[in-house]
Structures are given as structure tokens and as C-alpha cells.
Amino acid sequence: MSRTALWFRSLLLPDGWADDVRLVIRDGRIETLTKDTPAETGDEIHEIGLPGLPNLHSHAFQRGMAGLTERRGATADSFWTWREAMYRFVDHMGPEEVEAIAAQAFLEMLESGFTRVGEFHYVHHDPDGTPYADIGELAARIATAAGETGIALTLLPVFYRHAGFGGLPAAHGQRRFINDIDRYGRLIEASRKAASSLPGAVVGVAPHSLRAATPEEILEILPLANGGPVHIHVAEQVKEVEDCLGWSGQRPVELLLDRLPVDERWCLVHATHVTEAESNNIVARGAAVGLCPITEANLGDGLFPAQSFMERGGRFGVGSDSNVLIDAAEELRLLEYGQRLSLRTRNALARASTPSVGRSLFDAALAGGAQALGAPSMLAVGQPADLVSLKADDTALAHRQHDRWLDGWIFAGRRQTVDCVWRAGTRLVNGGRHIHRDAIGRRYRQALHKVLHQS
Ligand code: NGQ
Ligand code: ZN
């Protein structure tokens, strides 16, 4: 039984900011939460506390190729040429490398203020496409990396079978991803086993996209979710919308909502290219949209109409997706800036009830991310103590208070504004540094050497 007490001068609770808050944490959960109370001897004292943010969409291994594709190629560069480069990177990773790169990505997520990751995990087989002796070998590596860093995990093993709409046969570059429905069932089982040693781990199902899985196949795998989350990439690229129209006469989101039982268990990742009607229908179903602003900008996807979606009560969270840059505050900042640039307005994503853009974005990403990852993310008695503290002496926060701290962190701060991060009551980040930063960083460099130079 472990017991610690934290005291915050100000803490953001589900019903707003509270001052002089004392939390007693037992076995990772908040046992008591008392407002307006002085610190007691032995309490850890902090100034500004927030709930940890969920990162609802990641492909951890892509951290290893961050920055390597920012070079003009022989033909016009696009999402699709980036994807070819990504497939070449995938060819050279073994289980050790998958684990080492994931650990580095998860560590950086924690350092930036994320306390749970939704890992959309689709590299399953060995480099020639043969399943490992244990079908869940690489899923287990992801779980191990999460355990090493301490981040909470929602593991989303991906069902991937085809190269394009209408069940096209998979391509050579996709051989490590491919499963039929039976083998996917075994993968889910193995993933549940791998995640079972991690406190608070959640397992969901993830048909990769309507390109990689047919609606019939998705219907068949849905029961494997067992009430857990269902994630899918959808309508990210214009070509994807055109190909879907050509194949089915419907747009991807239209088809998804028409043919599949999309509800609040679902997370529609990207949903970039939606009509107003599609956007309204997502709201009506209560599904979350998974926005990944840094990656969507990096890959030239386009902009999701977030302002109108939010105004109608749409739910969304943020994800670091390709992990080209890992920064919780910057995802929120870029989400807002995309809307400002396209709508030529300011303060696009502030709710009427909450003038602060930072607070509105943070609240929305907290609630939407928690829904999408199948795990509550709030500071209340009985809940896991997943917390972030900000550096009160950071110049971006000077002479500010409460919601203005969030505006300061998101719009005027940087990753170093984050001070400490706790997951289930364990302090994993201290002064902005993860407790295992050096060892995990060393192993990451060795793994990259192998992936990039020894194959
Ligand atoms: C992925 N990433 O699975 O890593 C995808 C690219 C695809 C993003 N969509 C591959 N950002 O969609 O086919
Ligand atoms: Zn993705």
C-alpha cells in the first residue's frame, strides 16, 4: 500500500479551479480531495496543477523517422510519397527497436503533459511478413514500453487487410500489417494478455481505414471490442474521398455512418474532409473526432471544420499521430491557429461560457480524449491520480492566474513550461525531465543506428 499527499496552490478540478487543494493518493488513486486547506507536514507542495491530457492517436514507431522526410523528392511530394518512405522505415525494425522507439515516444509524451496514449498499433509481423511465434510479440513490446515509461495505455491493435477501397489485395509494403479475421481475433486476445499487467490499460479494436478494411469485415471484428473503444482513420486526404466516391458513390464519413453502428464508443481519426451534414451526423452519434493538428499539417491533409463542429457540441480530442513533434500544448495551439488562418478570425475555439481559448481547448481535449480512450481523466475521489504541474516561475505564466495559465502555457509557453507529471500517483517527470530520460534516450539512439544503418 503506498500513500502520498500532494498539495496544490491551485488545481483544475472538473468543476473549475480550486485553491489550496490537498490530495491524498493511495495505490494510485485519489483517496481524499480537500479544498481550501493548508498543507500538512510531509506534503509535496506544488503551485499549479492540471489533469493529465489523453493523447488519443499515436503510431509510436514513427517517432524514429521524425524529420527524415522533410526533403524534396524526385516526384511531387505528398501524403502518399511520405507513406512510401514510412513503409521503408518499417522494413528495418525488429522487436527490440519497436520497443526502444516506443519508449522514447512515450517518454516525450509524458514530458509534454500527456498521461495516457491511444496506441494505434499496426506493425504486427516480422520483416518478411511472417507472424512471430507469439502473434502479440510487437503488441507486447508496446505494452512493455508503456510500462517502462509509466504512461497509461489504451492499446488499439489494428485490423489491416487491403490496399484500397473495395478489398484490393494488400501491397508488398504492407506485409507486416496484414491479418485475416481469425488471426486478428488471436491478436486481440494476445494484446489483452500483454496489457493485463499494466494498471488501467484498455484494449480496443481499430480497423485501420475504409481503405484497409471493408465495412463487412469491420462489422465482423466489432464484437471483439467487448464494449471498449473503436478507432478508425477516415477522410484524411482528398484522394481518399475521391476513391471512396468512385468505389461506392458515398464519401468516407457518409459511408461509415451509413453502414456501421458508429456511436460514442467510436473515434473517427482525422475526419478532415467532411461536409456540414456529415459533421452534424458525427455530433448526433456522439462519436469523438481525433484531431492530430501537427501531423495533419506536416502531411498536408487539410483542415477539419473544428469551429462549427465544436459550436454544435461535437466531441474531439488530440493525438500526436506520426509523432514528428510531440507536444500536448502545441497540438492545441495549432488546432486553434488552423481555424484562425482559414476563417480569418480570432479565438475560434472558445466556448460561449468560457472566454479563455486555452481552457476551452483543454477541457474539450480532456473530455473527448477520455471518451475516445475508454478511460476517465478527471481529478476526483476514486479516480487515478494522473496530474501535470506547470512551472509557476515560467515567464509565460508570470502574473497570470487560473485560465490565463492555460492560455499562457498553450499560446506563449513551450514544452519546458511543464514541471512534474504523475501517472497513478507516481511522479514520472520532474522539472520537465522523465526519470528514465537518459537510459531510454541511449537505447533509442542504439535502436535508430540499427534501423537506419545496419540493414
Ligand atoms: C498510418 N497515418 O497508418 O500511419 C497512417 C498512414 C495510411 C496517418 N494517416 C497510412 N496519418 O493512412 O494509409
Ligand atoms: Zn494515424
Sheet holding 315-318, edge to edge: 230-234, 266-270, 288-291, 315-318
Domain 3-51+383-438 fold: Urease, subunit C; domain 1 (2.30.40)
pTM of the model: 0.98
**Residue 205: closest CA among 118, 138, 83:** 118
Are 452 and 444 in contact by the 8 Å Cβ rule? The answer is no
Q: How much distance in Å is there from the Cα of 292 to the middle of ligand 1?
A: 12
Q: Which residues contact 411 (CB under 8 A, 6 or more apart)?
A: 333, 357, 358
pLDDT digits (tens, 9 = 90+) for 195-232: 999 999 999 999 999 999 999 999 999 999 999 999 99
pLDDT tens digits, residue range 15-28? 999 999 999 999 99
Nearest to 209 by CA among 120, 315, 89: 120
SS3 at position 7: strand
User: Is the confidence at residue 2, as pLDDT, over 90?
Assistant: no
User: What are the helix (H) ranges across 27-71?
Assistant: none
In this predicted model, what pLDDT tens digit does every residue of 29-83 receive, in sequence order? 999 999 999 999 999 999 999 999 999 999 999 999 999 999 999 999 999 999 9
Length of the chain, in residues:
455
Alpha carbons 277 and 157: distance in angstroms, whole number: 30
By the 10 Å C-beta count (0-12 exposed, 13-18 middle, 19+ buried), 132 is classed as middle
Structure confidence at residue 1 (pLDDT): 61
pLDDT tens digits, 294-339 = 999 999 999 999 999 999 999 999 999 999 999 999 999 999 999 9
Rounded CA separation 51/116 (Å): 11
CA-nearest residue, atom 7 of ligand 1:
83
pLDDT digits (tens, 9 = 90+) for 110-126: 999 999 999 999 999 99
Q: Which tens digits make up the pLDDT trace of 411-430?
A: 999 889 999 999 999 999 99
Residue 454 has a pLDDT of 76
Tell me which fold the domain 53-373 belongs to: TIM Barrel (3.20.20)
Q: What is the Å distance from ligand 2's center to 424 Cα?
A: 27
Domain ranges of the chain: 3-51+383-438, 53-373
Q: Report, as residue numbers or ranges, the catalytic residues.
A: 270, 321
Residue 455 pLDDT more than 70?
no
HSE of 245 in the Cβ direction (CA atoms, 13 Å)?
10
Lowest mean pLDDT among 15-19, 260-264, 363-367, 412-416: 412-416
Query: pLDDT tens across 277-304, in order?
Result: 999 999 999 999 999 999 999 999 999 9
User: Ligand 1: does its nearest atom lie under 6 Å from the Cβ of 394?
Assistant: no
Q: How far apart are CA 100 and CA 443, in angstroms?
A: 6
DSSP structure class, residue 409: I
Candidate from 88, 322, 325 with most ligand 1 atoms within 8 A of CB, to mutate: 322
The C-alpha cell 513503409 sits at: 87
Which of 59, 124, 165 most suits a substitution to test ligand 1, by most atoms within 8 Å of the C-beta? 59
Residues 29-38: pLDDT tens digits? 999 999 999 9
183 Cα to the center of ligand 1, angstroms:
22
Residue whose entry in the numeric block shows the C-alpha cell 490499460:
201
Place of cell 455512418: 257
Give the ligand 1 atom nearest the CA of 209: 12
pLDDT of residue 414: 84
Count the neighbouring beta carbons within 10 Å of the beta carbon of residue 173: 15
Mean pLDDT of 345-364: 97
Average pLDDT, the chain: 97
What cell does 415 get?
514544452
Question: Which atom belonging to ligand 1 lies closest to the Cα atom of 236?
Answer: 9
Least distant ligand from the CA of 211:
1
DSSP state of 325: S
Ligand 1: does its nearest atom lie under 6 Å from the Cβ of 321?
Answer: yes
Q: Is the pLDDT of residue 172 over 80?
A: yes
Q: What's residue 287's pLDDT? A: 98
Calculate helix-pair angle for 137-149, 95-112, nearest 10 degrees. Answer: 40
Helix (H/G/I), strand (E/B), else coil: 365: helix
Nearest alpha-carbon partner for 165 in 101, 237, 78: 237
Ramachandran sector of residue 247 (left: φ over 0; alpha: ψ -120 to 50; beta: rest): alpha
